[in-house]
């Protein structure tokens, strides 16, 4: 191994360990008592499952778990429902303004949520969507739509237009072109985009805290209500439960995710 490669490998491992350190210490704290957690991360302790048993017995956590599943899944499906035809149109039927449209959409994703929280809250209150699953599903779909459209557009642009042109000549309708040709060819990209959308929905904290209180609150809002109490071990256990599904899904789908992100990179 050359010196340069050794340095790069060392830097890569250092960056990975640095990013994983908060998760490691959180997982470590989850197996401590609150008293042992106050002694510091490196103090010796006797592992315990009491914090997980407490969360399992806490029926108040069941609703946030179900809310997170419904809202992240529903937000992703609704987002894909609108993003797929939008990406198709931008990839194959848009002229010189394609780039301006894409950047215009993406700019809305970078807008701070605090700038529109008041009108959004008033609108949702007027139509009865405050503290509901449907309310967060709509919000998640809207805020992630620019990113999802951008990614799907990138994948579709790598599909040769001659394939769709041949199908069009053979009499295939637009719906048939999308369903039987475009979607199967873009399947890796769609899968990776859907996974990214689920992660973004699952981790969203600002809107879930501001727009929910009890009935529609996901795990991010539930854990935020615990953060003010002197229970670092129980909070760590709840946080570990919250991130475990995403970590497991990411681990199992990492090959598909990597394939989708590099889709069309090599021609």
Token output for 131: 């503290």
Helix axes 133-157 and 98-109, enclosed angle (nearest 10): 150
Instruction: Render each residue's pLDDT in the chain as its tens digit; 267 residues.
Output: 577 888 888 898 999 889 888 888 888 888 888 778 777 777 788 888 888 877 766 667 788 889 999 999 999 999 999 999 888 888 887 677 777 888 888 888 888 888 889 999 999 999 999 999 999 999 999 999 999 998 898 888 888 777 878 888 888 887 788 888 888 888 888 888 898 899 899 989 899 999 998 888 898 888 888 766 667 888 888 888 888 888 887 777 776 666 555 554 444
pTM for the model stands at 0.83
What per-residue confidence (pLDDT) applies to 183?
A: 83
What per-residue confidence (pLDDT) applies to 83?
A: 92
62-261: CATH architecture: Orthogonal Bundle (1.10)
Domains of the chain by residue range: 62-261
């Amino acid at each position: 191994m050359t010196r340069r490669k050794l340095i790069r490998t060392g830097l890569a491992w250092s960056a990975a360990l640095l990013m994983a350190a908060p998760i490691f210490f959180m997982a470590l704290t989850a197996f401590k008592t609150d008293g042992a957690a106050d002694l510091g991360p490196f103090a010796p302790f006797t592992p315990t499952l009491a914090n997980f048993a407490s969360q399992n017995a806490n029926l108040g956590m069941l609703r946030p778990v179900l809310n997170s599943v419904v809202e992240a899944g529903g937000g992703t499906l609704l987002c894909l429902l609108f993003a797929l035809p939008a990406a198709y149109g931008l990839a194959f039927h848009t002229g010189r303004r394609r780039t301006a449209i894409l950047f215009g959409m993406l700019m809305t994703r970078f807008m701070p949520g605090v700038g529109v929280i008041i009108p959004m809250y008033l609108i949702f209150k007027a139509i009865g969507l405050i503290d509901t699953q449907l309310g967060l599903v709509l919000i998640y779909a809207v805020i992630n739509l620019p990113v999802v459209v951008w990614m799907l557009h990138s994948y579709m642009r790598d599909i040769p237009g001659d394939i769709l042109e041949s199908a069009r000549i053979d009499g295939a309708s637009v719906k048939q072109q999308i369903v039987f040709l475009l979607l199967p060819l873009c399947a890796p990209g769609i899968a990776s985009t859907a996974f990214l959308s689920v992660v973004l929905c699952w981790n969203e904290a600002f809107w879930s805290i501001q727009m929910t209180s009890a009935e529609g609150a996901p795990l991010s809002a539930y854990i935020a209500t615990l953060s003010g109490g002197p229970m670092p071990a129980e909070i760590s256990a709840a946080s570990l439960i919250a991130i475990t599904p995403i970590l497991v899904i990411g681990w199992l789908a990492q090959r598909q995710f990597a394939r989708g992100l590099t889709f069309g990179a090599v021609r």
